[in-house]
Structure 1
Amino acid sequence: MSTSSELTSSAERPSPVRNPALARALAARGYESLTPVQAAVVEERIGENDLLVSAQTGSGKTVAYGLAFATTLLGTDERFGPANEPLALVIAPTRELAQQVQREFEWLYAETGARIASCVGGMDVRREARALEMGAHIVVGTPGRLRDHLERGRLDISKLKVVVLDEADEMLDLGFREDLELILDASPAERRTMLFSATLPREIVRLARQYQRDAIRIDTIVQNQPHGDIEYHAIRVAPNEVELAVVNVLRFSDVPATLVFCATRDSVRHLHASLQERGFAAVALSGELSQTERMHALQALRDGRARVCVATDVAARGLDLPDLGLVIHADLPTGPAVLLHRSGRTGRAGRKGISALLVPFNARNRAQRLIAAAGVEAKWMGPPSADEIRSKDQKRLMEDPLLLEAPSPEDQGLVQALLAGRTPEQIAAALIRMQRATLPAPEELYDPGQQEARGPREGRNRDDRSHDRQDAPKSHRRGPESLERAARREQEEGSHPPKEQQAMVWFRIGVGRQKNADPKWLLPLICRRGHVTKNEIGAIKIMERDSRFEIVAEAAERFATALRRSDDEDIRIEPADAADIPAGAGSKGRPAKSGPAGKGAPRDYARPKPRRAGFKPRKRQE
């Protein structure tokens, strides 16, 4: 944690927290120091003023305003009196954040006898009404549910001393401005008003001017400087391997909890099912889930039964998951604010975290602009390979604390029985197999940046090899091939004539050498988009801005129909025009796309014949 004010009981360093009950609660919780925002709100100069605070996500804002209004509610007392009308009201944008605030206050105010009630959407209204009727010192809730209780006369805010708007910018983004204004207008005018927000846009400043009096501005965010506890990784992936890259990143990272962000509910559903099928302990969070399902999913993450949470941006607002060490952006964020908000779920309260963006090659420019606009620095890299993951697994096994523990007397008998009937090598091999059986298998991935890393010269030679093979003798076009592989290939091809003797149709795909196009990932992409097999695909020509490829004429109509039905518009595939067909097409049994002469016929790329001596071109008549 940031060391700004020490929480010690020595006379040399007195506690900055003025209420002894809260100071003891912090010490019991293991706080050795306050974060910058917590230290700022307990300074003596603050007094009983209103506060307008901007601080990074995960900087300890909940404890900060809990400390800030303690003197307002308790004065010099260490315990509250009987609970009647609420004295403090905390408004949060989401159910999860409101419930998190309630849990934080329960331990922070444990020795004060405070009664804390929550009013959030999706929970039992009658139970909340009974809690309010019995009396509460502090009420925490979401704007819509608080307004409902207020309008129905269940919530009496006439005795409020403090109102806190937590993550006020998100509440305005979610459309709660009208609810907030109604609640603030109904509360006493002499109250303290505290606004806590990660950012201070114009709307927040306007709201502060309208409802605050002589507010003290506290800004603990260092402008143009990224969150020091979050390391950003931009991972290059092929467009059709994003899901596989999520698998490898999860396998490579050794963290207790991971949050994976997707753009839509369907994406969350699909990725969650895929991860569960591979053996990951994963849960999902999206707007279509009931409150009970959301609570069960979050509880599974908190108690360690699940280690991966797949969520949308809306479902993950305000989440504070313990030991969250990794955030994966399976779909790129829509803007810099979303990137920072997602990434801010990790690297909280002084812990280190990693934010990994999976960047398909065709979205690299957008990712670079996004990272620059967010003011962070990202380390570009390829996806973890299967060999790297296996090496990491071996290291984890060798460093497992279980191997260092001495056997208990109860285990000693079984140890001797195993050693008596089996060799140490057999026992070690069984241990390795048991460890591997519990881990999902890593995926073999292609790194689109490998060609770029080799430099333009090597990249050019690599692409040119496809042209060299076109002119090489047939016997030299393939590398060494085993008898078994040759037999399997002949069996797959069956009685079909070689591709060189079949009629072919040219198509065009809108990616080329500039975007690291490579047949290794273009081939499976073409198969998936056009519902064809690799045996129905002919030559692939990588050009500067796009690429051309052949489809067997018998499958061309089916291929074109599948393209029209595809909803993937990131990479456009269409029939090639006559001008797009490479030189030499239409020969050796490979006719070009059929059509009327002059329109669909291929261009003649042959070198023009030399003119005879004395030839004079005919002058054009005007």
Structure 2
Amino acid sequence: MGFERCAWRFVLSLLGSVPSIMQTELSFEDLPPPLSGALARRGFTSLTPIQRAVLEPDTVGHDLRLCSQTGSGKTIALGFVIARDILSDEPHEPIPRNERGAMPVALVVAPTRELAAQLTKELTWLLRPSGHSCCTITGGASYPQQMRALRMEPSIIIGTPGRLRDHIERGFIDMSHVRSVVLDEADQMLDMGFREDLEAIVDRAAPGRRMHMASATFPPDAQALAKRYQVDSRTVFGAEPGEINTDISFSAHRVRPSDRFAALVNVLLLQPEERTLVFVRTRADAATLAQQLAEAGFLARPISGDLEQAERTRTLEAFRSGIIKVLVATDVAARGLDIADVSRVIHADPPGDAEALTHRSGRTGRAGKKGHSIILVPPAAEEAVTRMFSRAKVHVRWTAVPTEEQVWKAADERLLASLQDALHAHDDPDSEPEPDRLHALAERLLREARDPVPLVRELLKRAHHGGPSEPRKVETVVVERHKRMLSKEHADRDSWLPFRINYGARAGADARRLLAMVCRRGRIQGSQVGAIRIGEAFSTFEVQAQVVEAFLQHVRKPDPRDPHIRISRFDPQYFKGKGTPRPAREPKAHLLVKRFAKHHQAKHRGQG
């Protein structure tokens, strides 16, 4: 079923009499029938702010930048935008058949396979009533299977940058009739190094196409890409710029690195049945932490790019269904995950910047539900994390890590509430249960017990009501406000401090070259270098706090080999708005060193 030719004109004329759609309650009946019918069948009763914003009259005929938090209904908003681009009443040439593959009218690019799959799922039910089909093209999937899907002539293709570019350059996706190109989570794709792929894809699109970008944040590199490809663009907000998701509460715990795992266990045990997403720095950290949690009794699994697609799918389905309660993820792996009822996000490693905090925390508090974002902060990182909270404009409640006594008290209260609910149910004469084996056993135990208290105590011990693990002892961190938090005596060897180097991608920087330069200049080992973030003009990296003092002494000396290269301490607050680099690809630097060492050894064995 197609759109009536005047449908969008009718909607826009209807809305043109009001100053802003953000101030109007838009009814589904005001939308074209295919869209309103699809929304009604899915149980929608109202539109979110970002969905209403893209329907404003002044967005028609413009490329859009959708700036909205995750969980705000952004996918449906993108569906409205695509529908307007491809279903308008403007005349279009008939689309010929591409014998080699597909000739779509819309292309959506996403950073991860999971986000591409989620977009396909949502856009399919929304746009199918208008006669349009969707297809997913992502890395890690079978080429023959994707070729068969493309030959089915999908009108909308959703995929990841590398695989989409591959199919386009091979001629299996003909871009000559594309009217709408959407880059979802554009900043994340740039962080992951997909700039060249994105440019190659957009360059192939038909002249006059619309190009829309969507993200919770628009850092300088994303703005530069938008300026290059968008024409007469408009920015639409799901909320006022800088407004945070009020459904998410934030709290932070000061934790010594040596107590991180114990603190995480205690936080999880406060509400062991809640679906929880735990963030760490690298893939290796995700695998290690998930294994430690599993050994402690938690139903936990890692999610990272190291997993095969089939295993990733099984892991996510187990998390959605509640088979596993804790998912340990990296920033990249979790981008685009849309899992209902994630009540907590725990940052076992603090986010690298305010944007990472926004994206991570956005996995909870979705669709109007409440969520909680919890950050474990090592003392040496407290100042940087505090500045990050300020930049993100979030109110954070600093509290001590739950103690063993607090964890047990919470467990006892849960058990009491559960038992009282069960007893109240038995008090109802209409629901009196028939005597059964357990009823008879309970009567026998009470008859034979001299004192019911020891009996109940033993039953409680066997019930393991505290959760899958025993709570841990965590040392309280004393806040010394009149001393430097980053001094040598307080710096822990597992803490990392940020540095800046005036060496970026424009000068040919990559993680391998920068790592070698930093180790040579600072006379440190690769294992003492943490996260590396390559920027356009400059880059940042982390150094283990234990060696920072000696590192600074070495890098301050002039370098005859690279006299123009300068290394200094990095203050994210000072460089706010000046192109702070985005996080580089994993893995951590010392893992990169091991990889090159293995390659070098294998090469020499081959020569021998």
Determine if the TM-score, normalized by the shorter chain, exceeds 0.5.
yes
Shift of 1:170: 1.6
**Deviations 1:461-494 (Å, cap 9, x if unpaired)?**
xxxxxxxxxxxxxxxxxxxxxxxxxxxxxxxxxx
Q: Given the superposition, is the C-alpha separation of residues 5 and 114 from structure 1 closer, same or farther in structure 2, using an over 3 Å criterion?
A: farther
Counterpart Cα distance in 2 of 1:52 and 1:192 = 11
The alpha-carbon deviation at position 24 of structure 1 amounts to: 2.9
Partner of 2:445: 422
Query: What is the aligned partner in structure 2 of residue 440 from structure 1?
Result: 469
Show structure 1 runs of 4+ deviating over 4 A.
3-7, 81-84, 401-412, 424-429, 566-569, 571-574
The number of equivalent residue pairs is 461
The answer to whether the Cα contact below 8 Å between 2:290 and 2:302 also exists between their aligned partners in 1 is yes
CA shift for structure 1 position 290: 1.9
8 Å CA contact retained: 2:185, 2:214: yes
* Structure 1 stretches lacking a partner, 5+ long: 8-12, 460-508, 516-521, 526-563, 575-622
Which protein shows a greater Rg?
1
The one of 213, 216, 227 equivalent to 1:198 is 216
* 1:437-460 deviations in Å (ceiling 9; x for gaps): 7532111212113x76xx99xx9x
Matches within 5 A, 1:361-510: 361-400=379-418, 405=425, 412-414=435-437, 416-423=439-446, 430=459, 433-436=462-465, 439-449=468-478, 510=488
> Kindly tell me: are residues 365 and 437 of structure 1, through their superposed partners in 2, closer, same or farther at Cα, counting changes over 3 Å?
closer
Aligned partner of 1:87 in structure 2 is 105
Return 301-310 or 284-293, whichever deviates more. Answer: 284-293
Cα distance change of structure 1 residues 239 and 50 upon mapping to structure 2, 3 Å threshold: closer
* Paired AA for residue 489 in structure 2: V
Aligned to 2:326: 308
Which of the residues 278, 301, 304 maps onto 1:286? 304
Q: Equivalent residue for 1:330?
A: 348
Distance 2:222 2:282 in 1: 28
TM-superposed deviation, 1:248: 0.6
Q: What is the CA–CA distance in structure 2 between the aligned matches of 1:131 and 1:268, rounded to whole Å?
A: 34
Alignment of 1:471-620 (within 5 A): 510-511=488-489, 569-571=544-546
1:55-98, CA deviations, whole angstroms, 9 ceiling, x for partnerless residues? 2222221111112222433458xxxx999732221111111111
Partner residue of 2:593? none
Quote the Cα distance in structure 1 between the aligned partners of 2:371 and 2:354.
18
Asked whether the 8 Å contact 1:49–1:215 carries over to 2, the reply is yes
CA distance in 1, matches of 2:488, 2:374: 27
Q: Could you tell me how far apart the structure 2 residues matched to 1:573 and 1:337 are? A: 26
> What's the CA shift for 1:355?
1.6
Query: Distance between the aligned counterparts of 1:417 and 1:196, measured in 2?
Result: 62
How far off is 1:136 after superposition? 0.7
- 2:246 is aligned to 228
Distance 1:45 1:222, change over 3 A: closer
Name the stretch that deviates more: 269-278 or 405-414.
Answer: 405-414
Shift of 1:187: 1.5
Partner secondary structure for residue 474 of structure 2: coil
Please name the residue that 1:137 is paired with: 155
- In structure 2, the partner of 1:261 is 279
Question: Which moved further from structure 2: 160-169 or 104-113?
Answer: 104-113
How many angstroms apart in 2 are the aligned matches of 1:90 and 1:572?
46
The yes-or-no answer on 1:340 pairing with 2:358 is: yes
Residue number in structure 2 paired with 1:18: 31
State the secondary structure of the residue aligned to 1:280: coil
Q: Aligned-pair distance for 1:126?
A: 1.1
2: CA distance between counterparts of 1:68 and 1:52? 11
Question: Residue 337 of structure 1 aligns to which amino acid in structure 2?
Answer: E
Q: 1:68 aligns with which of 81, 89, 111?
A: 81
**SS of equivalent residue, structure 1 residue 108:** helix
Question: What one-letter code is carried by the residue in structure 2 that aligns with 1:19?
Answer: P
With over 3 angstroms needed to count, the CA separation of the structure-2 counterparts of 1:146 and 1:356, relative to structure 1, is: same
- Identity, in percent, stands at 40
User: What do residues 274-306 of structure 1 show as CA deviations (whole Å, max 9, x unaligned)?
Assistant: 100111111102232222222221111111111
Partner of 2:199: 181
**Alignment RMSD:** 3.5
Letter in 1 for 2:265: V
1:4-54 deviation per Cα after TM superposition (whole angstroms, max 9, x unaligned) = 6888xxxxx732761223223323333332221111012344334321222
Q: Is the 8 A contact 2:187 2:222 kept in 1?
A: yes
Partners of 1:437 and 1:297 in 2: how far apart? 26
| Structure 2 unmatched runs, 5+ | 1-20, 90-94, 494-524, 529-542, 550-608
Matching residue's letter, 1:343:
S
Q: Residues 346-402 of structure 1, C-alpha deviation per residue, up to 9 Å, x if partnerless?
A: 222222222211112233223223322333221111101111111111222233365
Amino acid at match of 1:444: K
Whether the aligned pair in 1 keeps the contact of 2:345 and 2:374 (CA below 8 Å) is yes
| Deviation by residue 1:499-540 (Cα, 9 ceiling, x = unmatched) | xxxxxxxxxx9426xx9xxxxxx9xx9xxxxxxxxxxxxxxx
- Residues of 2 paired with 1:43 and 1:226: CA distance? 22
Q: Is the 8 A contact 1:92 1:140 kept in 2?
A: yes
Change (3 A) 1:356 1:416: closer
**How many angstroms does 1:235 deviate by?**
0.1
Indicate how the Cα distance of structure 1 residues 408 and 210 shifts in structure 2: closer, same or farther if over 3 A, else same: same
> Quick one: distance in 2 between partners of 1:343 and 1:326?
9
- CA distance change for structure 1 residues 46 and 241 in 2, over 3 Å: closer, same or farther? same
Q: Is the 8 A contact 1:143 1:176 kept in 2?
A: yes
Query: What's the TM-score, normalizing by structure 1?
Result: 0.67
Q: Is the 8 A contact 2:411 2:466 kept in 1?
A: no
Residue 14 and residue 366 in structure 1: after superposition, are their counterparts in 2 closer, same or farther (change >3 A)?
closer
| Post-superposition offset of 1:259 | 1.3
1:168 paired with 2:146, answer: no
Q: Deviations over 1:121-167 (max 9, x none)?
A: 11111111100011112110011111111111211222222111111
Match of 1:470 in 2: none
Mapped partners of 1:404, 1:116: distance in 2: 51
The change in CA–CA distance for 1:341 and 1:418 in structure 2 (over 3 A counts) is: same
Q: Structure 1 residues 273 and 420, CA, compared in 2 at 3 Å: closer, same or farther?
A: same
* Matched residue SS, 2:151: helix
Instruction: Pick closer, same or farther for the CA change 1:307–1:82 going to 2, 3 Å.
Output: farther
Match of 2:231 in 1: 213
The alpha-carbon distance between structure 1 residues 68 and 402, as it changes in their structure 2 partners (threshold 3 A), is farther
Amino acid at match of 2:314: H
Of 105, 120, 139, which residue of structure 1 is paired with 2:138? Answer: 120
Secondary structure of 1:314's match? helix
Q: Is the 8 A contact 1:272 1:282 kept in 2?
A: yes
1:109 aligns with 2:127: yes
- What SS class does the counterpart of residue 259 from structure 1 fall into? strand
Q: CA deviation at 1:412?
A: 4.7
**Equivalent residue of 2:66, what SS?**
strand
